[in-house]
Amino acid sequence: MASFAQRAGRSATRAVAQLSSDASAISPLSASLLAVHSNSWVASADEASSTQPGQAATAATSRPQPFAHLAAAAPHVDQAWPSAPPLVKSCESGLSSRGYRRQPCRRHFHTYFVTHLPSSSLHPDSHHSAGPGHKLPRDASTPHTPDPGSSPAVALPNMPSRDLTVVRIPLRRAKHHFGSFSARGSRPYNEDADQAGIINIPAFSKRAPMSVKQKPGEATPADSASGDPQIFYFAVFDGHGGTQCSHFLRDELHGYIEQAATEFGLQSSLRKKKPGRELHGGSSAQRKPTGKRRALDSVDMKGPEDVKDDLREPNRDENGAVQHPEHGNPLPSVLSVPAEVQDHAKAIQLERDLVKAYRDTIGGYFRRFSPEHFNTQEDASEDSPITVESSLAYAFLRADLDFVSAQARKADPDDSDIPVNNDEILGAPHATPSGHGIGGTTRFKGGSTASVALISTPTPVPFWHPAAQSTLLVAHVGDSRILLCDTATGLPHPLTSDHHPSTPTESRRLRRYAPAGSMVSGDSFGEERIAGLANSRAFGDIRSKRIGVSAEPEIARVEIGPAQFSFLVLVSDGVSGTLSDQEIVDVVKEARTPDEGARSVVEYATEVSRDGDNAICQVVRLGGWERRSEGGVGSMGTKEIRDIRRAEALDPRRAKT
């Protein structure tokens, strides 16, 4: 035993000596990250599938890569990535071998969030706990007599205290805060996709005075690389005609959003406006400490009588069959807030150049194209405000133009005799943020919807804390849906509307271009379609671009108060086309965690669906999660109809149509 202790002591001494020699180059934050980095990475299925055969052995023995395929503009797409790239690295300017200009390397989108975790979560015995740590009775304790031959204890270098340790938590493993689940239904493969993580853009939350009283040892997320609180990104994509477009958006859309924010020169909304003012509010602002329990207790809960008139249950026809669910109107958006930009004239010019590219490249409907959040008029003032919404709309439209242009330059697999320029889309696509190619070797004619939610907070306190305030920004194209569940009433608040040709807003938009209106027709089920498509807004769909099938997003901004909402839900039409909004939130209310809620929603939708469409659901915990079942009638409002639908689904005599 003595020799073993001596060898262990000498090994520890050498390890500490080596660590001490490099301590000057490692900041306390980096050192704490290194302490937990080796156990924090969890490779996703997509990362595993993207590993090339020649890299399999290396990937099995080296540390997993933090979204290496999203590094900025790699000079060679097929270049093998180094085994352990730094989080932030510098790049040389210039052009890649494919002629694409490299973007400056920085800390990009990642699927984990960084948090300060209390020592009690890592070490059951607190560093400052009173009494003996061994928990043995004192009468069995004896004084320790050191062995003369043993080495003295080795003092560790200056490291952060165990009372607060910086760790990385993979978002998809944080099942009490986030859940995602998908199913292909009765389709041969799943065309839906989703994404979740931390996006690297400046904060856009409202600068409001807020002081959250935290209990000792309570976890607090760390700031992002730019110094702002971390901004969370959640998105679902419902592909049609294949997976190329939905997977392109899953892998690239967040990069376009980051790139647009950089090109627009957006500045943080939390920056100091005047000298002497505090970062999160003026010096004269009144601060009211609000704890977790106080925030939850402050919610004015409504009873069943207060919500019975607003409760929307699925209707049934004369035969007792449940009809197609009717969705409520979207929650009104608050006004956009002008953002600070480095070069206002450059931002406006970027918008005008993109609109001109649409006119020259696609034409048709886009010859009179004027996006809602753009300053496209030549006589517009140079002082016209630039908003985060402008940058977000630019990212959506830029991504769609690149995808469509890339497909137009490829051969049509259905008819090789058709010329490449048959669709009159001749523009060359820009380089994607990751530097990867777009799609396969042949033209892809399908498309995808996209529903994106961004959450920004004014302080590092996480948005799921009951006392936290946050700003939710939603960008939406297609018929996927995003819902908020009201804590006080238990009712769903839609944040998106379905972009179908029959909706009033879309009908008015399509009438601006006469041929688009003439292309709208009804199908055998009585639903209106444009050029055979159910959605009048979508990414891709190269054959329908010129008649107005645009990727211009519908954008909404919502200010979320302490414990105001219980959770956020993002679903594809495989869920929303079968279930009502109230059914969706009621199923989540009965789940113990957001992860269980997402799974329950998809399983229930798949069970009672008649068309067996792909289904995907994301559930995000918000401040009022702990009281999600107390407002209104709880989850009982649709309990009866859900039981009836499950019984009908199990009936072998039910005809699947």
In terms of average pLDDT, the best of 16-20, 105-109, 246-250, 313-317 is: 246-250
Q: Is the pLDDT of residue 75 over 80?
A: no
Query: Which whole number is the average pLDDT over 480-487?
Result: 96
What is the residue-wise DSSP string for 585-635?
HHHHHTSSSHHHHHHHHHHHHHHH-SS---EEEEEEE-TTGGGTTTSTTTT
Q: What is the pLDDT of residues 519-567, one digit of tens each?
A: 665 555 556 666 667 788 999 989 888 888 899 999 999 999 999 999 9
What are the φ/ψ torsions at residue 504 (nearest 5 degrees)?
-60, -45
Residues in a beta bridge with 231: 199
How large is the greatest C-alpha to C-alpha distance in the chain, in angstroms?
95
Range of the domain at 243: 168-201+225-271+317-499+535-650
> Is 655 a domain residue?
no
What are the φ/ψ torsions at residue 304 (nearest 5 degrees)?
-60, -35
CB 619 within 8 A of CB 568: yes
Q: Is the pLDDT of residue 173 over 60?
A: yes
pLDDT of residue 145: 53
pLDDT of residue 501: 82
Q: What is the pLDDT of residues 578-627, one digit of tens each?
A: 999 999 999 999 999 999 999 999 999 999 988 888 999 999 999 999 99
> Is 41 a domain residue?
no
Rg, Å, the chain Cα set? 27
Amino acid letter, residue 131? G
CB 165 within 8 A of CB 32: yes
Count: domains in the chain: 1
Query: Which whole number is the average pLDDT over 420-431?
Result: 55
As a whole number of angstroms, the distance between CA 615 and CA 592 comes to 21
**Percent of the chain having pLDDT more than 70?**
61
Question: Which carries the bigger pLDDT value, residue 50 or residue 651?
Answer: 651
Nearest Cα residue to 237 out of 250, 255, 251: 250
Please state the separation of Cα 557 from the chain's center in Å.
15
Q: Tell me how crowded residue 306 is: count the other CB atoms within 10 A of its CB.
A: 15
The upper half-sphere exposure of residue 358, i.e. CA atoms within 13 Å in the direction of its Cβ, equals 30
In terms of average pLDDT, the best of 403-412, 417-426, 593-602 is: 593-602
Q: Is the pLDDT of residue 421 over 60?
A: no
Confidence of residue 255 (pLDDT cuts 50, 70, 90): very high
Confidence of residue 369 (pLDDT cuts 50, 70, 90): confident
Range of weakest confidence among 77-81, 130-134, 262-266, 594-598? 77-81
**Percent of the chain having pLDDT more than 90?**
33
Range of weakest confidence among 137-141, 226-230, 391-395, 635-639? 137-141
φ/ψ region of 527 (left if φ > 0, alpha if ψ in -120 to 50, else beta) reads beta
Question: Which carries the bigger pLDDT value, residue 45 or residue 422?
Answer: 422
> Is 542 a domain residue?
yes
> Is 332 a domain residue?
yes
CB 430 within 8 A of CB 452: no
pLDDT of residue 250: 96
Q: Specify the pairing of strand 164-170 against strand 470-477.
A: unpaired
Q: Is the pLDDT of residue 72 over 50?
A: no
Token digits of residue 203: 């904060």
Across all residues in the chain, what is the average pLDDT? 73
What is the four-CA torsion angle of 355, 360, 363, 367, rounded to 10 degrees?
A: 50
Q: What is the pLDDT of residues 258-307, one digit of tens each?
A: 999 999 999 998 875 544 444 444 333 334 446 888 888 889 999 888 88
Q: What is the pLDDT of residues 330-365, one digit of tens each?
A: 777 777 788 888 888 899 999 999 999 999 989 888
As a whole number of angstroms, the distance between CA 626 and CA 467 comes to 12
Q: Is the pLDDT of residue 123 over 50?
A: no
Residues in a beta bridge with 530: 520, 533
Length of the chain: 657
As a whole number of angstroms, the distance between CA 448 and CA 641 comes to 31
pLDDT of residue 38: 37
> Is 444 a domain residue?
yes
Confidence of residue 86 (pLDDT cuts 50, 70, 90): very low
pLDDT of residue 624: 94
> Is 152 a domain residue?
no
Please state the separation of Cα 282 from the chain's center in Å.
31
Task: Supply angle C-alpha 594, 595, 597, rounded to 5.
Answer: 60
Range of weakest confidence among 318-322, 406-410, 558-562? 318-322
> Is 141 a domain residue?
no
CB 260 within 8 A of CB 351: no
Whole-structure pTM value: 0.74
pLDDT of residue 204: 93
In terms of average pLDDT, the best of 165-174, 490-499, 596-605 is: 596-605
Token digits of residue 148: 């003369």
- The continuous run of DSSP H or E covering 112 comes out as strand 112-118
CB 65 within 8 A of CB 81: yes
> Is 572 a domain residue?
yes
As a whole number of angstroms, the distance between CA 259 and CA 255 comes to 6
pLDDT of residue 412: 77
What are the φ/ψ torsions at residue 485 (nearest 5 degrees)?
-100, 120
pLDDT of residue 311: 83
Q: For residue 485, what is the domain's CATH number?
A: 3.60.40.10
CB 174 within 8 A of CB 595: no
